Amino acid sequence: MWKYFVIFLIFLFSSCSSEDPFNSDSEKNYQSTYSPDNSGDFVIIGARILTGTGEDYPSADVWVSNNRIKSIGVELNYPENIELIDATDKWLTPGIIDIHSHMGVYPSPSLRSSSDGNEATDPVTPHVWAEHSVWTQDTQMPLALKGGITTFHVLPGSANLFGGRGVTLKNVWSRTMQGMKFPNAPYTLKMACGENPKRVYGNLNREPSTRMGNVAGYRKAWIQAENYKEKRSPTRDLKLETLAGVLDGEILIQNHCYRGEEMAVMLDIAKEFKYKVTAFHHAVEAYKIADLLAENGVCAAMWADWWGFKHEAFDMVWENVAIVDQANNATGCAIVHSDSPIGIQRLNQEAEKARSAGVRAGFDIPRSRAIQWITRNPAKALGILDEVGTLEPGKMADIVIWNQDPFSVYAKTEKVFIDGLIHYDHEDPSTPKPTDFELGLLKPEGNRL
């Protein structure tokens, strides 16, 4: 009897002593184990560099030291015997970041047995984490690497109002998801507006079956999260832990939302419950409320031209990204995302579609700005801008060398560095490292390609 009482006391004590049960130590068990080898020192010389900070150097050098960028500029004071990589006549950009991917959770081949992106059994599933579905041997990942993708954010699907936590991964081959996990990147929470949740649950004759049902669903959940946070309940609740993490500002909201009016409503809900929408995803109608997004400091992650696959994607304009970018004296936060294993291989081309449409509409959008749509801005919206997204001293050396202007359909990557290590080199057929799945697939003695 005493034994149980002691255990009870210990339990009571341990739960009370924890300052913040919502960001409990238990999450530390899921930390990244990614740890790159030391890259040593080298300098990439003579490239045209779009830094992601807005700079466009006609010809400059990047000095990499111990996996980090040491310096960048035109006359760097590097030692004579340092390894040089000649990138004369090439273009150089930060590693490309896709803020909306389902790689690993909707892999190729696309099979029911590994389609693990939508826990479509209840509209409110903030307790599920995309990372627990990731198949690290997804063939899409090395293809994306060849497209310059060094970091990608894996989200659950959009069947649910709250789809679960997203995870940010480095695009490196690993046996484990933890070995890809971006060190110390904040968690995110996927929310979804519109047609998908109301269709999925409406078809089951459940709430939500309408857009107003969607909104009631979000609010009900946030009220529960508020209560949970206030009461500091000793009983853990996985759903409410995640929602409370959002209210505490530690988990970033990534909100699938197409229509202008729905995005405006979501901003009201965020005000009611005092959380921030970090980015609207897909946001086909963002151009209709671009000023509102800029005022509220909310990013919009968009496609260049996808449309028409459902009603809420009917009002697409080629200028969407540019209008968001240029809103309120060019203070908007525009992101070009893929949501597609095809699109992720060429976000540079998607950015150019959007940039050229904007230029034709009369906006002044140089390449140095448009590159931010696929580097700096997604890094910002993922809470990892202090580590990646731009080429600045101290940041991770995630770098892409392109054979020509990356805003051309003919551009290809030549070298892709992640933390200063070459993961793809067009002259080395053993890169990108094939996935386990691809070994001996078409021929026992060969790889997939």
Determine which residue in the list 4, 58, 113, 409 makes contact with other proteins, applying CB under 8 A: 409
Encode burial over 123-151: b for 16+ CB neighbours within 10 A, e otherwise.
bbbbbbbbbebbbbbbbbbbbbbbbbbbb
Instruction: Please tell me what DSSP assigns to residue 36.
Output: P
SS3 19: coil
Residue 55 or 315 having the CB closest to other proteins: 315
Residue 273 or 363 having the CB closest to other proteins: 363
Does 342 help bind other proteins (rule: CB under 8 A)? yes
We find the least distance from the C-beta atom of residue 156 to other proteins, in angstroms, to be 20
Closest C-alpha to 83, from 28, 45, 130, 37: 45
Q: For Cα atoms 383, 379, 161, give the angle at the middle one, nearest 5 degrees.
A: 65
Does 426 help bind other proteins (rule: CB under 8 A)? no
Tokens of residue 409, six digits: 């359909």
Contact predicate 116/166, CB 8 Å: no
CA atoms of 333 and 156, how far apart (whole Å): 23
Does 173 help bind other proteins (rule: CB under 8 A)? no
Which residues, other chains included, contact 406 with Cβ-Cβ below 8 Å and sequence gap of 6+?
Answer: 50, 91, 93, 148, 348, 371, 400
Q: How many CB atoms lie within 10 A of CB 106?
A: 23
Does 345 help bind other proteins (rule: CB under 8 A)? yes
Determine which residue in the list 352, 387, 398, 414 makes contact with other proteins, applying CB under 8 A: 352
Residue 8 or 314 having the CB closest to other proteins: 314
Which residues, other chains included, contact 323 with Cβ-Cβ below 8 Å and sequence gap of 6+?
Answer: 286, 287, 290, 317, 332, 358, 361
Q: Could you please report the per-residue DSSP string of 362-419?
A: T----HHHHGGGGTHHHHHHTT-TTTSSS--TTSB--EEEESS-TTSTT--EEEEEET
Does 287 help bind other proteins (rule: CB under 8 A)? yes
Alpha-carbon 106 to chain mean position: 15
Does 356 help bind other proteins (rule: CB under 8 A)? yes
We find the least distance from the C-beta atom of residue 17 to other proteins, in angstroms, to be 51
Does 431 help bind other proteins (rule: CB under 8 A)? no
Determine which residue in the list 232, 276, 412, 426 makes contact with other proteins, applying CB under 8 A: 412
Residue 226 or 315 having the CB closest to other proteins: 315
We find the least distance from the C-beta atom of residue 310 to other proteins, in angstroms, to be 4
We find the least distance from the C-beta atom of residue 416 to other proteins, in angstroms, to be 16
Does 361 help bind other proteins (rule: CB under 8 A)? yes
Stretch binding other proteins (CB under 8 A), from 115-123, 158-166, 217-225, 338-346: 338-346
Site for other proteins in 298-337 (CB under 8 A): 305-311, 314-319, 323
CA atoms of 336 and 339, how far apart (whole Å): 10
Residues in the chain: 449
Determine which residue in the list 256, 288, 369, 423 makes contact with other proteins, applying CB under 8 A: 288
Residue 112 or 231 having the CB closest to other proteins: 112
SS3 96: strand
We find the least distance from the C-beta atom of residue 199 to other proteins, in angstroms, to be 8
CA atoms of 191 and 257, how far apart (whole Å): 8
Contact predicate 99/389, CB 8 Å: no
Omega before residue 208 within 30° of 0, cis: yes
Map residues 28-67 to x or -, x wherever contact with other proteins holds by CB under 8 A.
----------------------------------------
Does 70 help bind other proteins (rule: CB under 8 A)? no
Site for other proteins in 102-161 (CB under 8 A): 108-110, 139-140, 143
Site for other proteins in 197-236 (CB under 8 A): none
Give the binding site for other proteins (CB under 8 A): 108-110, 139-140, 143, 195, 287-288, 290, 305-311, 314-319, 323, 341-342, 345-346, 349-350, 352-353, 355-356, 360-361, 407-412, 438, 441-442, 448-449
